[in-house]
Amino acid sequence: MAPPKRKVLLTEEETLSPPDQLPQGQQIARVVKAAGNNLYSVELPSKASILVELPSRFRSTIWVKRGSYVVVDTQALGSRENKLSGEIANVVRDEKVWRKAPYWPKEFVKQSLLPMEDEDPTVGKMPSYSDESDA
């Protein structure tokens, strides 16, 4: 059964804008891959990889894609003894707005899809064939 529409709208509203500051124990992480049912492997700014859980309020409401960003609470599951290192506290949906926050990690720079100026772009060019390959 789908969640009530008001619950979906409240969850969406919560993820649109970043908070003024992150609480103690929370940090931004990049989603590396889905690791199971509501479990995700994420990369912290320190390049460490941890396993986190998606809380029930986000399930079937907000979709988490590989390469997107989430706010991870590493102290949320401290009392549980298992392989989980934290819980997703928030999902970054409007990345452009979140990047302007003072706590955005410098390690997560925006990747450009355009080639660098010193590179020779090969998009739209035919591959070069040499006569030596026919021999």
pLDDT of amino acid 120:
62
Cα 14 versus chain centre, distance: 16
105 belongs to a structural domain: yes
pLDDT of amino acid 18:
85
Range of the domain at 68: 25-111
pLDDT of amino acid 81:
65
Evaluated on CA atoms 89, 47, 106, 36, the torsion sign reads negative
Please give the backbone phi and psi of residue 28, each rounded to the nearest 5 degrees, phi first: -85, 140
97 belongs to a structural domain: yes
1 belongs to a structural domain: no
Please check the confidence at residue 97 and state whether its pLDDT lies above 70: yes
49 belongs to a structural domain: yes
121 belongs to a structural domain: no
The amino acid at residue 125 is K
6 belongs to a structural domain: no
Q: What is the pLDDT of residues 99-129, one digit of tens each?
A: 999 999 988 877 655 555 556 666 677 777 7
Which one has a higher pLDDT value, 13 or 64? 64
132 belongs to a structural domain: no
Q: What is the pLDDT of residues 17-57, one digit of tens each?
A: 788 898 898 999 999 999 988 899 999 999 999 999 998 87
pTM of the model: 0.70
How many structural domains is the chain composed of? 1
89 belongs to a structural domain: yes
pLDDT of amino acid 111:
65
- Whichever domain contains 68, its CATH number is 2.40.50.140
Helix ranges, the chain (H): 5-16, 95-98
